Amino acid sequence: MSDQNTTYYEVYPERVLDFLNYSSTIRGKSDSTIEAYGYDLGLLFKFLKMHRRLVPNDILFDDILIHDIDDDFLRKITLSEIYAFLSYMDKKRKNSAYARARKTACIKTFFKYLSVKARILDKDPTLELERPKIKKRNPVYLTLDESLKLLRSMDKENINFKRDYCILTLFLNCGMRLSELVSIRISKIKDDTLSVIGKGNKERVVYLNHACISSINEYMTIRSKVDVKDEYKDYLFLSTHRRPINKRSVEVLVKKHVQGAGLLDEKYSPHKLRHTAATLMYKHGKVDIRSLQMILGHENVSTTQIYTHVDNESLREAVKANPLSEENE
């Protein structure tokens, strides 16, 4: 695990640390997933201590310590307690169905580890644990005209114009994840392909079109002249401090340029630009769903199917074009 996760060794129970290490080193989960696992399990154990009245009534939820949770505590956890936890997350902490579904998946994975790998449980209490139903949400995206407006409205006199233009171009054309973009290495760019580390620490190939290649080449005229430490030399995107740009900085610059273009919807985050790329490819490029799955790096095609909503208008027009549509007039 990375240095940012060393706090796990100070606050989490031993079994959680073992699970996080197993998930990282054996299952190859990313740092962000490991961090989410730790956070979600931390909430569960804080709740259980409160629920079992093992802490003072006046203690703040976030101040509850969980480092002392042992195997005996874990063996006594029941399915009803886990449902009580999910209800608490819903009612008291206003978690969405999506957030509760993520916690459910984490808890099931943890208890499977305890019963199958660590073998400290005779019975897994989460075998019958059901995942909260999530309403299907259509992705929020920019239209083709809005995407063009975003790129054309950028200030060419800004010192970071070529860098930011390249970032937005890659988001809008390739559908990259934010984590993939900030970790791009110059040495991984070969002609019209780019290798990135995707979800689950899996390497995948991103194909670059003319706009992407052109924007990278333009940015490199500036990037190649920047004097940086040897450890940072291979990173494509740098901050003004000559370090690899971080996720938060990219989120801020995306918001700034979206607002600068007069597209004030606060939902247009880097992830929504990924949605935009996918939608434009599906709608205008006539990319089939399986190809789009590969382009986006989705493990399951069911994840990619959210983009089929964009064809509703063409389906409507197809029905209207039926020669019998005017028969009753």
Question: CATH code at 294?
Answer: 1.10.443.10
Give catalytic residue positions. 177, 199, 271, 274, 298, 307
Residue 139 lies in a domain: no
The Cα–Cα gap between 329 and 325 comes to 9
The Cα–Cα gap between 231 and 131 comes to 43
> How is residue 65 written in tokens?
């310590």
> Which comes out higher in pLDDT, residue 247 or 301?
247
- State whether 162 and 74 are in the same domain: no
> Lowest-confidence range among 123-127, 174-178, 200-204, 272-276?
200-204
Boundaries of domain holding 300: 144-314
- State whether 112 and 150 are in the same domain: no
Residue 324 lies in a domain: no
Q: Are 267 and 140 in contact (CB under 8 A)?
A: yes
Single-letter residue type at 132: P
Averaged pLDDT of the chain = 85
pLDDT of amino acid 114: 97
Residue 197 lies in a domain: yes
- State whether 8 and 76 are in the same domain: yes
What is the three-state SS of 297-311?
Answer: CCCCHHHHHHHHHHH
- Please count the structural domains in the chain: 2
pLDDT of amino acid 5: 42
- State whether 113 and 164 are in the same domain: no
Please say if the pLDDT value at position 75 is more than 70.
yes
Among the three residues 101, 117, 133, which one is the final residue of a domain in this structure? 117
The Cα–Cα gap between 252 and 132 comes to 32
The Cα–Cα gap between 156 and 165 comes to 9
pLDDT of amino acid 324: 62
- State whether 38 and 170 are in the same domain: no
What is the three-state SS of 199-264?
Answer: HHHCEEEEECCHHHHHHHHHHHHHHCCCCCCHHHCCECCECCCCCECCHHHHHHHHHHHHHHCCCC
- State whether 175 and 286 are in the same domain: yes
> Which comes out higher in pLDDT, residue 156 or 324?
156
> Lowest-confidence range among 36-45, 210-219, 295-304?
295-304
- State whether 207 and 266 are in the same domain: yes
DSSP H or E run through 270 = helix 270-283
Residue 232 lies in a domain: yes
- State whether 310 and 174 are in the same domain: yes
Please say if the pLDDT value at position 203 is more than 90.
no
Q: What is the pTM of this model?
A: 0.61
pLDDT of amino acid 315: 52
pLDDT of amino acid 122: 93
- State whether 68 and 151 are in the same domain: no
Residue 36 sits in a domain whose CATH number is 1.10.150
Task: Count Cβ atoms below 10 Å from residue 173 Cβ, excluding itself.
Answer: 22
Separation in Å, CA 207 to CA 182, 211, 273, 295, 297:
17, 11, 17, 8, 12
Among the three residues 82, 117, 152, which one is the final residue of a domain in this structure? 117
- State whether 88 and 216 are in the same domain: no
pLDDT of amino acid 2: 41
